[in-house]
Amino acid sequence: MCCWQPDHLTSNAGFFSAYIKEVEEKPAPTPWGSKMPFGEMMFESTGTSGWVHGVSFSDSGNRMAWASHDSTIAVAEGGKSAVVTSLSSETLPLLCVTFITENSLVAAGHDCYPALFVFDAAKGSITFGGKLDVPKQSAQRGMTARERFQNLDKKATTESKEAVLESLHKNSISQISVLEGGKTKCTKFCTTGMDGGMAIWDVKTLESALKDLKIV
């Protein structure tokens, strides 16, 4: 057993052994190490320059991913010398991340939509796989006389220029949870946001709707 510790003051990400000899059976050796006394630092990285918001282990436990405030997503692969791969994405800061297969991750944050990232161990790279949101197009209509009068009264103009988010969530996404299929082959996952909303995403539906989407 282990516990991870994202550091909100620095850019460190790591985890410690939470094995208690008097309570649990001795764990088998892992790619992160074989000696696991309570509190032992199993892994630590300073590979990003923003504080860490979210951490996720893959289903096998051999990989750990984290999202940082500098819009970076990183993956560490266990071994005698853990290898860290990172990608500085073009999204706003990410607040949460989870594996949905051993190679694919979903992350989300201040952009208000979940996004796919793909880890390629052979190439030592992480790539942006696509935006996992299919916005509904809002119907265009003319303003009524009443709306024109209200805008003129409140804003001294007859035009309405309020920005409208096309994403399903209307505020930052703070949590992603795997619902079905597990982290080996997730078929459904859930996002919850600071808008008070919760959305359930079907992976097959997303793959059908987004032609260039590839989840491996």
DSSP-derived secondary structure for 150-209:
HHHHHHSSS--------SS-SS-EEEEEEEESTTTB-SEEEEEETTS-EEEEEHHHHHHH
- Asked if the model's pLDDT at residue 141 lies above 50, the reply is no
Between CA 6 and CA 8 the distance in angstroms is 6
Element (H, E) at 146: helix 145-155
Is 181:187 a contact under the CB 8 Å cutoff?
yes
What's the topology of domain 2-135+171-209?
A: Methylamine Dehydrogenase; Chain H (2.130.10)
Minimum mean pLDDT range among 15-24, 54-63, 187-196? 15-24
Q: For residue 41, is pLDDT > 70?
A: yes
Average pLDDT of the chain is: 81
Q: What is the pLDDT of residue 155?
A: 56
Question: Taking residues 8-18, what's their average pLDDT?
Answer: 65
pLDDT average, residue stretch 55-80: 89
- Kindly tell me if the per-residue pLDDT of 62 is higher than 60: yes
Between 133 and 214, the more confident residue is 133
**pLDDT for the residue numbered 138:** 42
Contact between 189 and 116 under an 8 Å Cβ cutoff? The reply is: no
Give the pLDDT of residue 57.
92
Residue 34 burial (10 A CB sphere; 0-12, 13-18, 19+): exposed
User: Using 50, 70 and 90 to split pLDDT, how confident is the model at 184?
Assistant: very high
| Residue ranges with strand state E in the chain | 2-4, 13-17, 41-45, 52-57, 63-68, 72-77, 83-88, 94-99, 104-109, 115-120, 125-131, 173-180, 188-193, 198-202
Quick one: average pLDDT of 147-159? 58
- Long-range CB pairs of 203-211 (<8 Å, 24+ gap) are 203/100, 206/132, 206/134, 209/134, 210/130, 210/131, 210/132, 210/134
Position 9 pLDDT exceeds 50: no
Whole-number Å distance between alpha carbons of 54 and 48: 13
